[in-house]
Amino acid sequence: MAEKFAKTASLYSQDVSPTVSSTLLSSDIAREQLLEECEELWKQMEECQNKLTLEEIETVPGSDAKLLLLMKQVKSLTAELNLWQQRKPEIITTNPDVLVALGRDQLQKLDHELEMVLSTVQAKNKKLKQDLLREERWLEEQQQLIDCLNQTEEEISKEVVQFSEKRTFQELKSKMLKVKDYKDEILNALGEFLEEHFPLPEEDGTAKKKKHSSAKQDVQLITLHEILENLIHKIIKSPHDPYVTINASFWSPYIELLLRYGIALRHPEDPNRIRLENFHQ
């Protein structure tokens, strides 16, 4: 065992840096002293082992021999464990040259390990910086994209508003044209109906408009259709004053017809003025 320990110590000394190895090889006295101390420790361990063996050898009767032997081994191992737990580690050698060499070797190993850790940390730091730059570029691109999308959304919103206003105007214009066409169609149908069923008074068997002569001028009667158009235009253009003054061109039977069926109303203070009934209210 001592030879094995010495061989291990020799191999350990070969792994030391060139400076430490040269120190150990030049110090033969330190090496011999270390071997002697190892031999002494080994002898002490053998003596302890022999004492334990002698104490364990006892004659035990019958079937309890194996159990008793195991119990003694447990006690022995427990005592040895307690001893080792209470014992403090001792320095194998007190030779300053050996201690300096071992300390130098440990420091060099620690320095090498720290250099490796530093290299690893620097590599990780470099990679993190690259990742950070890449993420910052990506964030900048995303921000530019968001700004572009916001600008596009704003432009589209303006276009939608303009398109909506234009579309509404076109729809209103189209509806007004339809209403106007519908009004013209109704007025034409009304005119045809009135000309057919309410013609002007005949003269000499023809459908000519009857002319009344007076001292000053000849008056030409207007049709019922024209009377209704005048009333309609008046109430639309000036709803605050919808009355139309009756003159000589208004044939009195037409006026009586409109008043009798509630189509027209007289002015409460002036019987020569009439207006169209508010059918739209």
Q: Is residue 235 part of a domain?
A: yes
pLDDT of residue 93: 66
Cβ atoms of 280 and 239 closer than 8 Å:
no
Rounded distance between C-alpha atoms, residue 246 and residue 253, angstroms: 12
pLDDT of residue 67: 82
pLDDT of residue 209: 43
pLDDT of residue 246: 92
pLDDT of residue 37: 81
**Widest CA span of the chain, in angstroms?**
177
CA atoms within 13 A on the CB side of 246: 21
pLDDT of residue 131: 95
CA-wise closest residue to 24 among 131, 124, 100: 100
Q: Is residue 81 part of a domain?
A: no
Q: What are phi and psi of 220, to 5 degrees?
A: -105, 125
Which residue range forms the structural domain that includes residue 214?
A: 209-276
pLDDT of residue 5: 42
pLDDT of residue 281: 60
pLDDT of residue 52: 73
Cβ atoms of 93 and 34 closer than 8 Å:
yes
Rounded distance between C-alpha atoms, residue 119 and residue 43, angstroms: 48
Q: Is residue 114 part of a domain?
A: no
Q: Is residue 269 part of a domain?
A: yes
Q: Is residue 222 part of a domain?
A: yes
Rounded distance between C-alpha atoms, residue 232 and residue 228, angstroms: 6
Q: How many domains does the chain have?
A: 1
How wide is the angle at C-alpha 18 spanned by C-alphas 13 and 22, nearest 5°?
65
SS (H, E, C) 202-232: CECCECCCCEEECCCCEEECCCHHHHHHHHH
Tens-digit pLDDT profile for the chain (281 aa)?
444 444 444 544 444 444 444 544 445 676 777 778 888 888 888 888 777 777 655 555 555 677 888 888 888 888 888 887 777 655 566 778 878 888 888 899 999 999 999 999 999 999 999 999 999 999 999 999 999 999 988 888 877 767 777 778 888 889 999 998 998 898 888 888 888 888 887 654 444 444 444 434 467 888 898 999 899 889 888 989 999 999 999 999 999 999 999 899 999 999 999 999 887 66
Q: Is residue 264 part of a domain?
A: yes
Q: Is residue 263 part of a domain?
A: yes
Cβ atoms of 24 and 30 closer than 8 Å:
yes
- Partners of 244 in beta bridges: 274
Cβ atoms of 209 and 248 closer than 8 Å:
no
CA-wise closest residue to 228 among 277, 174, 267, 163: 277
Q: Is residue 221 part of a domain?
A: yes
